[in-house]
Amino acid sequence: MAALLLADDLFLCSCDDSTGRSRLSERATGLGLASAVIGELLLLDKVGIQHGEITVLDDHPPSDPLAHSVLDQLHRERDVRAVRAWLRYLSRDVHELVGQRLVRSGHVRPVRARWRIRARVVYQPVDVNAAAWPAARLATRLIGRQPLDDHDLLLAGLALAIGLEPHILIDTSVKTRQHLRHLLGDVPPSFRALMAETEAAVGDAVLSARG
Amino acid sequence: MHGKRSSTGYSVVSAALANERLGTVPIAFFVLSAAAPLTAIGGIVPTGYATTGVIGIPLAFLLVGVVLAVFSVGYNAMARRISNAGAFYAYVSHGLGKPLGVSAAWVALLSYNLLQLGLYGAFGAVTAPLLNPLLGTQLPWWVYAFASWVIVTVLGLLRVDVNSRVLSILLCLEATLILVFDVADLAHPASGHISFATLMPDQLFVPGIGALLAIAVTGFVGFEAAPVFAEEARDARRTVPAATYLCLGVIALLYSFSSWAMTVATGPDKIAQFAGSNGAETVFVLAAQRLGPAFTDIGHALFATSLIAAMISYHNSVARYTFALGRERVLPAWFGRTSRSGAPKYGSLFQSALGLVVITAYAILQLDPLVQLFYWLGTSGGFGILVLLGTTSFAVIGYFRLHPVETFWSGFAAPALSLLAMIGIVELVVANFATLLGVEPDSPLRWIFPGSFAVVAVLGIGWALILRVARPDIYRGIGLGANSVTGRRMSDEMSLQSGQFRQVGA
């Protein structure tokens, strides 16, 4: 199984394995994916996060075009530092961008959503097993008490932050969940900051009176 | 890769985010439509006249409007520092400490729940006599109340905040209709001449004044929502205060004018009796006599939609409050979870469960839906909000004692004035609670309703103190809402952002 990028994995976790229907609200998914794209740059040591602010550490472009363009924007607009502002900004079209990236890599195909008033594109997984893999991988490793690499730590942390816990930890015991929380308690500060900002942004989106 | 820096003039990110922000008028519309004018004019005011027998209501609206305007000076100064959807308890946490903050949160939860639950009674009482003849049935009020409960429960879970455009149109129709009724009332005064008796200041200095003030405060509930939009406002410094004062002005003038016009139509000495025999039909009976039946039909339809809009609005307030407290872990963490639609699922279900219990209890005990459900719970909820307003004024003073103030007026004088006024009003309301409810002076109810707030407030303080010892990690996050997880207030971010926006404009 070829390794996917962080936002791709989170995208697959956030939608139904066969229909592609989103498991969360548009806003929560958008904020989570925005965070995952920033997470990809974090994993490549391109950016750092401290006190809720993001700094570009290395502006040499990464190989993935989407990560490249986001790093470009972060660098161009380095006066805008608040992670929250970037999450809100990127969340507006990141679903589309990550969806397209998965189309290009052949993991999903765009289909017209039925039973919707607004015509929307749903990205339907091509292969149910491949779509279920990221969540299954996390569950297996956690149940086996195996260590998670940085990629999977961020994936699990962001999934929890946007409210995917019931979907990625199906059939796992309380002990397993505690194990995950224990692992997440030990992550690098920049990871923890990104997860916390994401959880807070999702909470604020629910609380904002506008819906 | 090395693009232009944004400080040279234009930031795409800031501009894009600024574009989504709200101006004064949209915020005012959000706030006013939740206040649901027809619910106040058609429901609270006539029931108030009938139950209390005191006629100074029009003046009470003006007086309370002025007090709330003074209150808003400090309230808005605080909103510029702390942005949090649960404004009251966040401000109290920061100004008077976390134990009182939790206490305020619980009082707010009780108050908004009472206000919401009461509306089921009004909806049942108003729709049953209208729809029963049309449907050829004899259904009791609670069947209709259950129907509205189903609507609220489903919409709450689906997170269909009724579309803001729909709400705005309804609001404009409501206001227009109320004004048409008022003009008709004034054109056909009871004894042939327009009486200003209810507007005379001496009408305020009567034994039931506390009851009047409580009714007026209940009418204003909803205005306090403006700072909730601070984070989404185009310019939190100007937009939110402008929206607050605009709403206060509109409510004070419209409600005062309409409740006066009503007394002109019946004659000031007859309003209590007239409202007593006509209940929630009062304004419509008056309109029917003067304008014909078509207007009453429109009025009834709008009254029903106004009640539903208010129900959903309060339901969502309660659900969000519960959600914020769940995020802080002050309430169980599962209250902080959302449904697939992004609704605060368990907060919403919890509020709906309360609704079911209350409607069922009132149906079984055969209590009166309009007076004993709508009016009692509504005015008691209004009293709870009044207590919160006073506490918030105190919190504003406490906060600015330790933080740099903008002006002496906004940081101390105005909140102190407002605090004194609120203490006075609370005292009067407590003294007149029997008049407010329309019960005997020795009825235990006059103590049960106000006393329940005291009990909840004390329990809240106790819970906060338990958390301080047992869960210091949770205690630290109290008052931060969804941001308790980052340990930082949103205003830190806001100040950063407004800095960016200023640069963009410069």
CATH classification of the domain holding A15:
1.10.3630.10
Q: Rounded to whole angstroms, how far apart are CA atoms B191 and B187?
A: 11
Interface test with B, best of A19, A80, A208 (most B CBs within 10 A): A80
Give which of B241, B217, B219 is closest to B229, Cα–Cα.
B241
The domain spans of chain B are 21-496
What's the DSSP call for residue B233? B
- Token readout for B327 is 């995020």
Q: What is the pLDDT of residue B491?
A: 43
Residue at A210 is within a domain: no
CB contact, 8 Å: A57 with chain B?
no
Q: Which of A31, A55, A206, A208 is the best residue to mutate to test the B interface, defined by the most B CB atoms within 10 Å of its own CB? A: A206
Neighbours of A164 (CB within 10 A): 22
Count of positions (residues) in chain B: 506
Residues in chain A with CB shorter than 8 Å from the CB of B164 are 210
Which chain A residues are within 8 Å of B481, Cβ to Cβ?
A: 203-204, 207
Name the CATH superfamily for B21-496: Amino acid/polyamine transporter I (1.20.1740.10)
Q: Does A93 touch chain B (CB under 8 A)?
A: no
pLDDT of residue A119: 61
Nearest residue in B to A166, CA atom = B337
Q: With a cut of 70, list the residues of chain B below it in pLDDT.
A: 1-9, 83-86, 160-164, 487-506
Determine the length of chain A.
211
CB < 8 Å to A89, chain B: 13, 16-17
A55: in domain: yes
Confidence (pLDDT) at A208: 74
Instruction: Report the residue from B324, B337, B490 with minimal CB separation from A163.
Output: B337
Q: What is the pLDDT of residue B499?
A: 33
Question: Which pLDDT value is given to residue B113?
Answer: 96
Q: Report the residue from A89, A207, A211 with minimal CB separation from B17.
A: A89
CA–CA dist A103, A122 (Å, integer): 11
Q: Interhelix angle for B414-431 vs B209-220, to 10°?
A: 120
Judge whether A194 and A39 are in contact, CB under 8 Å: yes
**pTM for the model:** 0.88
Q: Do B342 and A25 touch (CB under 8 A)?
A: yes
Task: Give A-chain residues touching B2 at CB under 8 angstroms.
Answer: 59, 75
Contact B393, B419 (CB under 8 A): yes
What is residue A52's three-state secondary structure?
Answer: coil
- With contact defined as beta carbons under 8 Å apart, do A44 and A138 qualify? no
Q: Mutate which of B161, B485, B491, B502 to disrupt the A interface (most A C-beta within 10 Å)?
A: B485
Which pairs count as long-range contacts for B358-361, CB under 8 Å and 24+ apart, including other chains?
B358/B117, B358/B120, B359/B120, B359/B124, B359/B142, B359/B145, B359/B146, B359/B149, B360/B142
Of the candidates A78, A193, A199, the beta carbon closest to that of B5 is on A78
List chain A pLDDT tens, one digit each, 211 residues: 457 999 999 999 999 998 888 899 888 999 999 999 999 999 999 999 998 899 999 999 999 999 999 999 999 998 888 999 999 999 999 999 999 999 999 999 998 876 655 667 899 999 999 999 999 999 999 989 988 999 999 999 999 999 998 888 776 788 888 899 899 988 999 999 999 999 999 988 888 755 4
Q: Provide the pLDDT for residue B5.
A: 42
Contact check, Cβ <8 Å, B1/A25: no
Residue of B4, B161, B336 with shortest CB distance to A211:
B161
Six-digit token pair at B446? 């006059």
CA distance B234 to chain A (A): 14
**A82 contacts in B (CB within 8 Å)?**
493, 496-497
* Residues paired with A112 in a beta bridge: A121
Examine the predicted complex and report whether its ipTM is higher than 0.90: no
Per-residue tokens: A62: 């990464």
pLDDT at A210: 56
Number of domains in chain A: 1
Q: Give kind and range of the element (H or E) at residue B172.
A: helix B164-187
Is residue B129 classed exposed, middle or buried when 0-12, 13-18 and 19+ CB atoms within 10 A define those classes? middle
The residue type found at B76 is N
The answer to whether B12 contacts A23, with C-beta atoms less than 8 Å apart, is no
**Is B5 in Cβ contact with A79 (below 8 Å)?**
yes
Q: What is the pLDDT of residues B309-338, one digit of tens each?
A: 889 889 988 998 899 889 888 999 889 888
Rg (chain A; Cα; Å):
16
Each residue's pLDDT tens digit, B221-271: 989 888 877 777 887 788 889 999 999 999 999 999 999 999 999 999 899
In angstroms, the Cα distances linking B76 to B66, B200, B297, B489 are 15, 32, 40, 17
Closest CA relative to residue B115, chosen from B351, B280, B464, B404: B351
Q: A103 is in which domain, residue-wise?
A: 6-205
